[in-house]
Amino acid sequence: MASIQLGLIGLGKMGGNMRERLRKAGITVVGYDRDPTRSDVDSLVELVDRLESPRTVWVMVPAGEATHSVIDQLSALLKPGDIVVDGGNSRWTDDEKHAKLLHARGIGFVDAGVSGGVWGLQNGYALMVGGDKEHIQWLEPIFDALKPEGPYGFVHAGRVGAGHFAKMVHNGIEYAIMQAYAEGWELLEKVDFVDNVREVFRSWQDGTVIRSWLLDLAVNALDEDEHLEKLRGYAEDSGEGRWTVQAAIDNAVPMPAVAAALFARFSSRQEDSPQMKMVAALRNQFGGHAVELERPEAGKTAKTAEKAG
C-alpha cells in the first residue's frame, strides 16, 4: 500500500507539531510556511506538485483573510477529487463559502476544529470535523494519527461548518472555566488567613469535582510564579468567544457564564486585573499564547510568547 500523503500549509506552533506527530505515525507530510526555515517547499505550487493524486491539503493558517487567500489559491491549483481541510480557527460561516468555491471545481472540503495547543504533539489533538461522510472516511488515517490514543478525541460533528461550530462552543466553555478558576484564585489571594493559595489549588487536583486539565495547568503556572507577580492582568480574546456569544444571541440560547467571561477579558484592557493574570497564565500554559510581563523598573510591560517562569 502506498504511503499516505498530506500537504500541510502553516507550520506555526500547532502546524509544526502536527507535522511531527503525523510523520511519527508514518504519514508523508509536505509542509509549506511563509518562513523558509520551517518549510519543505518554496511555494504552494511546489507543494501541490509533490503530492500524488488524489491530493489532501490541510490548511493551518490564521482565520479570516489568510485562510481565504490560501483556499482561493488552492482552488486554482488542485484537481477534481482532491480534498482541502481547513484546520484553523475559521468562523463556521466561512466554511459554506469555501466549500461552495471548491465544490464548483470538483474539490472536496472538510472543516476541522482542532484543540490541543502546544501539548498536542505529546498528547494528541481533539478533532471536531464537518463535511461529507465519504471525505471523512478518506481522511480517517490522518485523523487517527492526530487524535489521542483511545476511543475519544474525534467526532464527525455534522455537515460542513459543524466542526468549526463545535470548536467555537468548546472555546466558549473554555473561557468560562478559566474565568471561574481566576475568580476563585483572586478571592483566595485577597484574604489574609489563607496562607498558601498555590497548595489549595494543588489540593483540588485529585478527589474534587472541579479537577481538570486546566486546573493542572493553573498549578503549573503557580509553580512557575507563585503569585503571578511577573504577569500583567491582560488577556486577549481570540475571536471564538465573541462568535459563541453572537451565535447564542442569534439562537436565543442563554449563555451568561460565557458572556461574562468574554466581558471580563474586555475589562482586563482597562486596568491591571488580578483575575486576568490567571487567565493569561492559563492561555500561556495550554496554547503558548503571548503574555505581558510586568517590568516595574521601566514602568512598562513586555509581551512574550515564552512561559513566564
Residue 209, C-alpha cell as written in the block: 469535582
Note every long-range contact of 36-40, with CB atoms under 8 Å and residues 24 or more positions apart, other chains counting. 38/11, 39/11
DSSP 8-class letter at 35: S
DSSP bridge partners of 302: 293
CA–CA separation, 182 and 203 (whole Å): 16
Instruction: Considering the candidates 174, 186, 240, 294, report the single residue annotated as catalytic.
Output: 174
174 given a catalytic annotation: yes
Instruction: Considering the candidates 167, 240, 292, 294, report the single residue annotated as catalytic.
Output: 167
Cα end-to-end span (Å), the chain: 48
CB-hemisphere CA count at 13 Å for 6? 29
97 given a catalytic annotation: no
CA–CA separation, 87 and 33 (whole Å): 15
CA–CA separation, 142 and 29 (whole Å): 10
CA–CA separation, 188 and 196 (whole Å): 9
Residue 173, C-alpha cell as written in the block: 466553555
Q: How far is the CA of 191 from the CAs of 186, 219, 308, in angstroms?
A: 9, 19, 25
Residue 264, C-alpha cell as written in the block: 471580563
Helix (H) or strand (E) holding 84: strand 83-86
C-alpha angle 155-217-222 in degrees, rounded to nearest 5: 170
Q: Are 210 and 204 in contact (CB under 8 A)?
A: yes
Q: How many CB atoms lie within 10 A of CB 175?
A: 25
Which residues does the annotation mark as catalytic? 167, 174
